[in-house]
Amino acid sequence: MTWSALARAATTAARRTLAQPGLAVVSVGFYLLVTAAVTSLWRSAAEAHGGEIAGYSGLALTWYIVASEATVVAQRVRLIEEVGTEIGSGAIEPELLRPVAAVGVRLATEIGAVLPRLVACLVAGAGYAALVAGAPIATGSIGLALPSIVLAVVCNIAAQHAVAAASFWVRDAKSAWYLYHKFVFIAGGMLIPLEVLPESFESVARLLPFSAMAYAPARLASGYFEPGLLIGQALWTAVMLVAAVAMFARGERRLTAAP
Amino acid sequence: MTIVADRLARSFVTGRRRARRVVEAVQGLSFTVEPGERVAFIGPNGAGKSTSIKMLTGILHPTSGDATVLGRCPWRERRALTRDIGTLFGQRSQLWTELTPRQSYRMLGAIFGLDDRRLDRRTAELGALLDAEDLFDVPVRTHSLGQRMRCELAACLLHEPKILFLDEPTIGLDLLAKQRFREMVVRLNEAQHTTILLTSHDVADIEYVADRVIVINHGRLIYDDSVDRMRREYFATKLIEVGLMHPVDRFETLGASVVHQSDLSIRLVVDTQVLPVRDVVDALLERLPVADLSIVDPPLEDVIASIYRVRSS
């Protein structure tokens, strides 16, 4: 029953996104703008370095950015803040009066809401990349990139819920969204491939969950056939889902408990 | 018994270190509710109404005391209890504004384990009962607040709850929408025998919806009796506000006392045990150039003050 309820929650949220075409157009427009700017920079940099940077050609870097930007831009930027505010204001309380866990419904609706935007961004991004740089380098790695993009989104949403759940204890936890996104941008490899970072920084970034949220699908989309990335992502996604569920469960207990 | 509250108490800790303070939100609250009763649970802001409702629905654990709702302990068996209770919090929406209510009902139905056939049957039933069928296929963003509240009411009734908790459901509604909403709640209770526990600080909600009233103030129960009796004892006065087309001399009528008169307005208090409001209104319309007229209940704060006065004397 729970799984069918969550599936229904996700499809209803997807319908909600589709019912707001204006927002989707803004989202895709912003995505294309950022992608065009960043990929142009990287292609120029690659040309200036003899056509390649840290093993990435201009074509590979274009597909890298198309994938990494899509996984992040398709999501609500201030998700942590919004969920945190709902926890802090008590708006979450009616959700506790349902037979399915509030965090489950929230994760399902957020994933459902993101998917139509993600598809729209990817279609637009793929069209742009094919037009300005050329077809993807390897179809095998693109085949892996698609499930990897979905895992990246799920992992990111679950992690943001785990962070937002700190609002059950700390009033200002919601402001963590700003710092969180900086980690995804840099340590997650959203703007800069991890291989381009200083070696010590790269080693640390690879140990963090943020690389599962942008770098992994981007690396696969850029033509590197590395199935291990998908396994690492699956593990991080499982960890983040467990963390989100556990944090909400503890938070709910704190919210309802007698002083 | 549908609800049994036995010396329920709940305190909150506010502030830290030196500013740390314990606030007793609810203190030793005891009452019972029979199946099918319509009970108004009233009190001024901060009286402990919402805290009590939260304990009875399982959102909050009490500091002390006990309660059962439909034979279950709400805070220990909250998940199981949710299938038998419905809740409507006036300022919290269950519906997504971009979608039609029917689309949101599909999701809520799935969450409560209703299959599509049962959900369709129930939606049709509620549409007819709440005169809302034509609203179910229109996006919520196009609804008026009154229409939205009727759709919200349907949302919390999809799973056929035995008890409906309504927390300030008419807040923000205009007079007509409030009256319509109250009629729907009464109709629901009569048609489906759903127990109603309504919190409000609008005296009219109590008069129209409830047949019993529980008053709490500062977390303590100060009154528990039938609405008829409360009406006789404490709602014996009505306030009439009259707007005039032009100034008049001092106005007086039997059984009503003028508490304020200016050039273009008069305010009177009528003791309905001495004189029916209708007689005063007839006299006003006959003798004054009335431009506007409204009849208002005494504010809840005045009613509570009266209860204290009577109890202490």
Other CB atoms within 10 Å distance of the CB of residue A75: 24
Is the pLDDT at B283 greater than 70? The verdict is yes
Q: Nearest CA to CA, how far is B250 from chain A (Å)?
A: 52
State the DSSP H helix or E strand holding residue A52, giving kind and residue range, or none if neither: strand A52-53
A92 touches chain B (CB under 8 A): no
Is the pLDDT at B65 greater than 90? The verdict is yes
Q: Is A215 part of a structural domain of the chain?
A: yes
* B266: its two tokens: 């008069």
Does A19 contact B112 at a Cβ distance shorter than 8 Å?
Answer: no
What is the rounded CA–CA span in Å between residue A165 and residue A255?
A: 11
What is the domain range of residue A110? Answer: 2-252
Domains of chain B by residue range = 3-233, 236-296
Report the topology of domain B236-296.
Alpha-Beta Plaits (3.30.70)
Find chain B residues with C-beta within 8 A of A20's C-beta: 98
Q: For position A1, what pLDDT does the model report?
A: 58
Is the pLDDT at A183 greater than 80? The verdict is yes
Does A9 contact B111 at a Cβ distance shorter than 8 Å?
Answer: yes
Report the topology of domain B3-233.
Rossmann fold (3.40.50)
B20 touches chain A (CB under 8 A): no
Burial class (CB in 10 A: 0-12, 13-18, 19+), A3: exposed
Residue B207 banded pLDDT, cuts 50, 70, 90: confident
Nearest to A258 among B61, B80, B112 (CB): B61
Look at chain B and count its residues. 313
Q: Is A167 part of a structural domain of the chain?
A: yes
The closest alpha carbon to A144, from A79, A215, A220, belongs to A220
Residue pair B241/B310 in contact (Cβ under 8 Å)? The answer is no
Nearest to A98 among B11, B82, B96 (CB): B82
A259 touches chain B (CB under 8 A): yes
What is the rounded CA–CA span in Å between residue A102 and residue B290?
A: 55
B141 touches chain A (CB under 8 A): no
Mean pLDDT for the stretch of residues A192-209? 95
Nearest to B63 among A98, A255, A258 (CB): A258
The closest alpha carbon to A74, from A120, A35, A36, belongs to A120
Residue A77 banded pLDDT, cuts 50, 70, 90: confident
Is the pLDDT at B298 greater than 80? The verdict is no
In terms of CA atoms, which chain B residue is nearest residue A104? B111
Q: Nearest CA to CA, how far is A90 from chain B (Å)?
A: 10
Percent of the residues in chain A that have a pLDDT greater than 90, as a whole number = 86
Q: Please write the tens of the pLDDT for every residue from A4-52.
A: 999 999 999 999 999 999 998 999 999 999 999 999 999 999 999 999 9
B99 touches chain A (CB under 8 A): yes
Residue B190 banded pLDDT, cuts 50, 70, 90: very high
Does A256 contact B112 at a Cβ distance shorter than 8 Å?
Answer: no
Q: Is A257 part of a structural domain of the chain?
A: no
Does B89 contact A105 at a Cβ distance shorter than 8 Å?
Answer: no
Q: Cβ contacts of residue A17 below 8 Å, gap of 6+?
A: A23, A24, A112, A113, A114, A115, A116, A117
What is the rounded CA–CA span in Å between residue A75 and residue A198?
A: 28
Q: Is A166 part of a structural domain of the chain?
A: yes
* B84: its two tokens: 């038998």
Residue B276 banded pLDDT, cuts 50, 70, 90: confident
Q: How many domains does chain A have?
A: 1
Q: For position B312, what pLDDT does the model report?
A: 62
CB pairs under 8 A between A and B: 78
Does A8 contact B11 at a Cβ distance shorter than 8 Å?
Answer: no
Q: What's the complex ipTM?
A: 0.89
The pTM of this model reads 0.86
Q: Nearest CA to CA, how far is B91 from chain A (Å)?
A: 9
Find chain A residues with C-beta within 8 A of B58's C-beta: 96-97, 256
Nearest to B59 among A1, A9, A96 (CB): A96
The region that residue A138 occupies, defined by phi over 0 for left and psi between -120 and 50 for alpha, beta otherwise, is beta
Find chain B residues with C-beta within 8 A of A102's C-beta: none
